[in-house]
Every structure is written in structure tokens, then in C-alpha cells.
Amino acid sequence: NIRRRFEQILEEVRNTRKDLLLNRTRMEEARPLRAKPQETRTREEAERLAVLETAALTSVDRGTSGVRKNHNETQSIEEEFRDVRDELANNAIPDVRPILERIDTGIVGPLHEVNTVDFDNCDDLLVKLREALEQQEDPLPPFEAAADELGAVIAKLEKVLAQMLKNEDYNKVLEMLRTVIRGQEDLKKQTEVERKKRLIEGLK
């Protein structure tokens, strides 16, 4: 379930980057129109430019909202993996140390870096991109900077996903953990039955 959610996050970040690149291309095509003095533009040119600039702003707002949503979701994934890692460490699973190290270095560590550094960088760059569009500055450099930073995030998330998929031993250990937890739950239920039985016998 965690992996499926993570794959969805990754796909959404990819789509955000594609959307920005598409609108970056459109703004590059609009460069000649933006370079013309406002009073020399035809009505059609002015309307066309307004459509392109509005679409670019909408793309940036959509991207900012998506990045913030994905940031929150990725923080949740990191916390869930930390919880799973702690469960593995605390339940005396045999031969678990190498798997704990792979979780730390291949999943939790990279996710923590993305959550504490990379998503914040993306957010800042998208804010600067919006300011450039609003102030009629050249938006191409901030478009490229935001797309590059999202590309770096995607590369890191893809490595984490590869680590999740690669960990066959991790899946085996999770099944062992489930068995331990089921055993604990069965023992708890059995203890409760015995307690109730003794209470009933004490009332006779």
C-alpha cells in the first residue's frame, strides 16, 4: 500500500514537471510578442499573449499546489517507513540488521533529504517563477530552474522506488513481522479469554 501511494506521488511530480515544460515552450514561442511594445501589438496578438500568460500562471499555481500536496504525502510515507523500521528493530526478527541498513540508506535517508531540502527548493523556485510572470520579466530562466529542481526530485524518488522494489528480503522480513504481530494478537486474545473464564468461575 505504501509503495502504491509512493508511485502515485512520483507520477504526479512527473506530470507537474511536464506541465511546466509545456508552458515554458509556449512562453518561449511568445517571446516575439512580449518583446513588441504594447502599443504596437495587434488585437489578435494581445489576446494571444494574454491567453499564453494566463495559462503559464495557471500552470505555476497548479504546480505549486501539487508540490505542496506531494510534499505532505511524502512526509507521511517517510514517517510510515520509520514506523515499519522501528517495528522490525523492536520485534527480534532474525538477520534484520542488513535490511534495516538498506531501509535507512536507500529509503528513509533519501526521503528525509527530499522532504527537508528538495521540496522546499521547488516551492521557492515556483514562487519566484510566478513573480517573474506577474512582473513581466523573462520567465524562461525560472521555468528552467523549477523544472530542473523537479527533475532532481524525480530522480531521487525513482531511486527510492527502485530500492522498495528490489528489497525481496525486506518483503520476507515484513511477512515475519506480520507473523510475530499476529502471534502477539492471538496471545492477547487468549489471555483475555482466560481472564474472563477465571472471572466467571470466581462468581460461581
Instruction: Dump pLDDT digits (tens) for 79-95.
Output: 999 998 888 888 766 77
Instruction: Answer with the residue of higher pLDDT: 201 or 17.
Output: 17
Taking the C-alpha atoms of residue 43 and residue 125, their distance in angstroms, rounded to an integer, is 33
pLDDT recorded at residue 27:
93
37-41, 107-111, 164-168, 183-187: least confidently modelled range? 183-187
Write phi, then psi, for 139 (nearest 5 degrees): -85, -5
The tens digit of pLDDT for each residue in 38-57 reads: 889 889 999 999 999 999 99
Instruction: Answer with the residue of higher pLDDT: 88 or 112.
Output: 112
Q: Are 78 and 108 in contact (CB under 8 A)?
A: yes
Question: Quick one: pLDDT band at residue 98, thresholds 50, 70, 90?
Answer: confident
Q: Are 89 and 169 in contact (CB under 8 A)?
A: no
- Name residue 175's amino acid: E
pLDDT recorded at residue 168:
54
Q: Is 99 exposed, middle or buried (0-12, 13-18, 19+ CB in 10 A)?
A: buried
Taking the C-alpha atoms of residue 176 and residue 181, their distance in angstroms, rounded to an integer, is 9
- Which residues, including other chains, have CB under 8 Å from residue 177's CB and lie 6 or more apart? 84, 87, 88, 91, 93
pTM: 0.79
Chain centre distance of CA 47:
37
Q: What is the mean pLDDT of residues 156-185?
A: 73
- H helical segments located in 97-167: 97-103, 109-113, 119-134, 140-166
- Name residue 58's amino acid: T
pLDDT recorded at residue 91:
76
pLDDT recorded at residue 1:
82
pLDDT recorded at residue 8:
97
pLDDT higher than threshold 90 for residue 161 = yes
pLDDT recorded at residue 38:
85
Q: Is 143 exposed, middle or buried (0-12, 13-18, 19+ CB in 10 A)?
A: buried
Mean pLDDT of the chain: 87
